[in-house]
Structure 1
Amino acid sequence: MPASATRPAAKPIALLALAAALIVPLAACSSEATSSDQPQTLRYASGDAEPTCLDPHVGGNWPQAILANQFLESLFSKNDAGEIIPWLATGAEASDDQLSWTITLKEGVSFTDGTPFDADAVVANVEHIKNPETASSTAILALGKVSEAVAVDARTVRFDLSEPDSALLESLAQTWLAIESPAGLERGTEQNCLAPIGTGAFQVASWEKQSQVVLTRNENHTTAPQDGVTSEGQPGATVGTIEWKFIPDAATRLAALQSDQVDIIDSVQPDALSQFQANGTEETLIGARPGVTARVELNTTRAPFDDPKVREAFAASADIDAAVESLYFGTLDRSTSVLSSATPFATSHPDSFEFDAARASTLLDEAGWTERDADGVRTKNGERLEVAFPVSTNQSIPAEISVLEQIGATSSEVGFDVQLELLDLSTWYERSGTWEFDAIVAPYSKNSADVLRIVYSTDSITPAPSGYHANNTGLSLPALDEALDAAVKTSDDAERKRLYGEAQQLIIDSGTVIPLYDQTVQFAYGANVHGFRLQPNVNVPSLVNVTIE
């Protein structure tokens, strides 16, 4: 098998004509359901961390995205073929020199506070994201090449760029760049974090910290995106209320579903998923998050992983295939790619990640880690071969933590001392931002291969205004920077494929990344729930057309 096998790329990006009606309701979604005197309440239980701010411009993590997708909307989305489609926009055109994009906007759309959606609103959002005081990370990195947004007229906005950015429309199709009411933004960060104001199918009614966010239906919703299956459909939520509950314990979430206390749960454990798939007691939905895979990244800014031989030894000492097979019950496959299978231009590198304890031991000997202490841990010049490994319990389900524990166990056999430390999300971010780790698993979603530039370029070693740095390896490779810069400047898919393939090979050859599997979203719900789906822009859940029998 070749060292690098390329997966098929997604279809070339194309702006489709604006559909008259967008997300499709199922046959079960009758008019009686939406006009009932007692609108339905949907109860959703999340295992992801409760956001500290509901505004995805601030910071910009996955828990914010899955919740904000219910009440905020973006300029663009994607369909199931991977094509960019209009949402709040109606189309886009690049200048001949690729240094500006002119985007036309829908008419007759208003935010739920009555503020009109127009070009000035888009400009205000771009300025909000790029303002250092907003402390954005994901959104500001996505707009890194945008110099400014200019309102040409009420229905037209121009994005001026410092350099060509072939991934701009893909970036604008993400929830972290969703458009919010300018009047809402003007309230200030503290108030806007509590209840961002959008154009979505729902609006934030209340937030009871450490319990739930309650969303209510936007009766004037007009702008649902095409769902990628059919161009027929209609905007407007079906249920009247969503109770978005925070239940961090996986067993408690599962019990709540099975006792009919909630209708949908996320972050489902693999054993439960496998059981549901086998016996059909609950419906399941699994999707790969676009962007990078779940992968172990090694910090090269300090010992021991500043030494390439030690990095190579650690990868060879980790029996990942056996861990995934035993702990995931066939619900996902081991990946040897930096990019998720949901991301165009992903390449696999199976020959680079073979478990070989004997080879790991030889490499450590060559690196000078020849002695062992009484615990069997290798030493060099009196220093133990320790690996500080902080893990976010909010970003990793128990099965993933068990995988990391098994990696630690097999690595210990050749002399590593892997010290897993389970942390809440805020502490994990702090530890990551101050480089207090040797190994880390850091999810990052983006719906294009340009995520490699965000995560592995030299520029991303420098923290964003939020204090977050996307490059956790600390490795600066000029050849990698050149390939990623060239890839984002060209719109030729054949050239992008070549350049992203070259970039992935350089990352793999650096020994700084050990892929595990696709970062996935896993849901379970009762047979009485209809219309639940993932929105193809970044595979976030969409509840707009859910009905409950």
Structure 2
Amino acid sequence: MTLFRSAAVLSAAALALAACGGTSDDTKPDTAGAPVNGGTLVYAVNTEPTNLDPHASPQDITGLFTRPVLDSLVSLDDKGTIHPWLAKSWEISADQKTYTFKLREGVKFSDGTVFDAEAVKANLDHIVDPKTKSQLAAGFITPYAGTTVIDEHTVKVAFSKPHSPFLAALATAYFGIESPTSLKAGPDALAKKVIGSGPFVIDAFTPHQGITYHRNPDYDWAPEGSSHTGPARLDKLELKVLQEDSVRLGALTSGQVDGIASVPPVNVKQIKADPRFTLETRQAPGGNYNYYPNTTAGVFTDAKVRRAFRDGIDFKTVIDKLYFGIFQPAASPVSPATQGYDKATETAWKYDAAAANKLLDEAGWTGRDGEGFRTKDGKRLTVRWTFVRAFAREQRATLAEQVQAEAKKIGFDLQLQDATVAEYVPRFAKGDYDLADFSWQRADGDALRNLFDTSSITTPTFFGQNGSRYSDKEVDGWLAGSLGTTDNAERAELYAKVQQKVTDNAVVFPVYVFNYVLGASKKVHGITWEPQAYPTFYGAWVTK
């Protein structure tokens, strides 16, 4: 999950100019020969959306479930290049405040509604509409000033200030274009079913079980650079929810499903060695799985306490032992696959229990109570961690318990407070926590703006991703500067400054770099990857 994408945050999804890294060396060559049409592919995942509308939901899994049915205005390749899709061309004003799109003609949504400029306006307006309660997409376009229909196939999108990441954001499933007719059904209906112009059409979404699709026979508008044109190769696609690692792995090895997400790290060698299967990993861009200390209330308002917590826990050893090297310990708030990643963060801090203890002494936490926890003025060094265990993926609950044990060694009483999604969201909005956790998949370095800009702090009326509730004028200025330039070198320099400052101030505790680990039967071919590092099935096919 990612807590904001885990429960959205929860699991906390997902951009430009560099996509995730290429396939890993684990990938086995596809020697199946010519693609074939027909058949059904069944793919098991470890979590499910709480809301199927990507305009509203921030969950990674929402993007996975809706990409088969939703096209975007543009696409993003694995080299960070933007390509035409539903928009066949575009122009950007010199001040980068206005984007004018020429739209593809002849496109229809699966409900028969015609795709046109009015549809684009309806979708962008829907994303920012307060009634949508967008927890992700609206935050990608905070300076949005409105959309003007020029003619049936021309639309102009305006911003109140320069916004260079717009095209990359448009490439994500969270800006997938939904039928304007379906948008009128309201948020409750959209949470259960979305209608697009994509290569598949949803048959049924059943909570706790999964989702089924059938091929859209009229599809003929794939993004530029696709492996083929025309309808999808599969007749049917099914995504099945199997949360337990052992159950999901067993379904693959017994042939009940054709592929699975999140092969358990302990079983990766088993799958790689089995000639019946292939295994592929993809490093996710954007925010790593990080812990975010609340810098505005509680013990983590003190930078010395924050540094002590980060430096006093041997994250590397814990991660290596738990994940068998499949996930790498993180150093920066963003992964190496993210445009603008600063390699210097890898040596900016290190595990040092002695130094951590000294910092806590300097901060005044010099006492010890009967259980060994540090105290100050008669109060225990307590950290409240609101944790949505029901959505914890990749053994994050086990990881949390191990971190809890490590934290106790240096005197922290790390309290895991299990919560439901309904309980978590209002607490997060009010800042009623000491520690939050989530990952944040986004291919663009602009993910740093989501994570650390003052404007991204969640309020009761606005859902942002700044889990540390961090506010710094210098950081805000660097992030604002990145919006006004398309020069990748300039943006990378600004993003490096942000990473260095938030690292120096310990306003984020990097934990691990997420890798999507996909296991599949050798009869499965043609699965490709979204820039945010989850699989797509337009070109997929199966052999007997």
Summarize deviations over 1:346-395 as a string: whole Å, max 9, x none.
01313333111111111111111111111101111121111222333465
State the Cα distance separating 1:503 from its structure 2 match: 1.2
Alignment of 1:54-453 (within 5 A): 54-226=52-224, 233-348=228-343, 349-393=345-389, 396-453=392-449
Alignment size in residue pairs? 518
Superposition TM-score, scaled by structure 1 size? 0.90
The one-letter code sitting in structure 2 at the alignment partner of 1:92 is: W
State the Cα distance separating 1:191 from its structure 2 match: 1.9
- Once the two structures are overlaid, the 10-residue window that deviates more, 395-404 or 237-246, is 395-404
State the Cα distance separating 1:26 from its structure 2 match: 7.4
Summarize deviations over 1:94-117 as a string: whole Å, max 9, x none.
112222011111111100011111
Partner of 1:42: 41
Query: Contact 2:450–2:464 at 8 Å: present in 1 too?
Result: no
Q: Which runs of 5+ in 1 are unaligned?
A: 1-8, 14-23, 35-39
Relative to structure 1, is the Cα distance of residues 290 and 426 closer, same or farther in structure 2, using a 3 angstrom cutoff? farther
Summarize deviations over 1:320-356 as a string: whole Å, max 9, x none.
1111211221223222112122211101313333111
The one-letter code sitting in structure 1 at the alignment partner of 2:528 is: R
Structure 1 counterpart of 2:488, from 490, 493, 497: 493
Separation (CA, whole Å) in 2 of partners of 1:245 and 1:346: 35
Summarize deviations over 1:407-449 as a string: whole Å, max 9, x none.
2222211111122344454544344333232122122222211
The one-letter code sitting in structure 2 at the alignment partner of 1:389 is: W
The one-letter code sitting in structure 2 at the alignment partner of 1:29 is: P
State the Cα distance separating 1:238 from its structure 2 match: 1.5
Query: Contact 1:79–1:226 at 8 Å: present in 2 too?
Result: no
Query: Contact 2:430–2:458 at 8 Å: present in 1 too?
Result: no
Structure 1 stretches (4+) deviating beyond 6 angstroms? 9-13
Relative to structure 1, is the Cα distance of residues 427 and 12 closer, same or farther in structure 2, using a 3 angstrom cutoff? closer
Separation (CA, whole Å) in 1 of partners of 2:149 and 2:515: 38
Q: Which runs of 5+ in 2 are unaligned?
A: 1-14, 20-29
2:507 corresponds to 1:512: yes
Separation (CA, whole Å) in 1 of partners of 2:260 and 2:490: 41
State the Cα distance separating 1:11 from its structure 2 match: 6.7
Relative to structure 1, is the Cα distance of residues 188 and 217 closer, same or farther in structure 2, using a 3 angstrom cutoff? same
Separation (CA, whole Å) in 2 of partners of 1:149 and 1:189: 21
Summarize deviations over 1:144-188 as a string: whole Å, max 9, x none.
122011111111111111001111101111111110000111122
2:532 corresponds to 1:538: yes
Relative to structure 1, is the Cα distance of residues 154 and 27 closer, same or farther in structure 2, using a 3 angstrom cutoff? farther
Q: What SS does the aligned partner of 1:442 have?
A: strand
Q: What SS does the aligned partner of 1:103 have?
A: strand
Relative to structure 1, is the Cα distance of residues 107 and 10 closer, same or farther in structure 2, using a 3 angstrom cutoff? closer
The one-letter code sitting in structure 2 at the alignment partner of 1:359 is: A
Summarize deviations over 1:222-270 as a string: whole Å, max 9, x none.
122245xxx6522321121222211111111111111111112112211
Query: Contact 1:429–1:468 at 8 Å: present in 2 too?
Result: no
The one-letter code sitting in structure 1 at the alignment partner of 2:206 is: E
Q: What SS does the aligned partner of 1:482 have?
A: helix
The one-letter code sitting in structure 1 at the alignment partner of 2:321 is: S
Partner of 1:547: 541
Separation (CA, whole Å) in 2 of partners of 1:428 and 1:250: 25
Query: Contact 1:463–1:470 at 8 Å: present in 2 too?
Result: no
Separation (CA, whole Å) in 1 of partners of 2:346 and 2:144: 37
Query: Contact 2:286–2:334 at 8 Å: present in 1 too?
Result: yes
Superposition TM-score, scaled by structure 2 size? 0.90
Query: Contact 1:299–1:472 at 8 Å: present in 2 too?
Result: yes
The one-letter code sitting in structure 2 at the alignment partner of 1:290 is: P
Separation (CA, whole Å) in 1 of partners of 2:311 and 2:385: 17
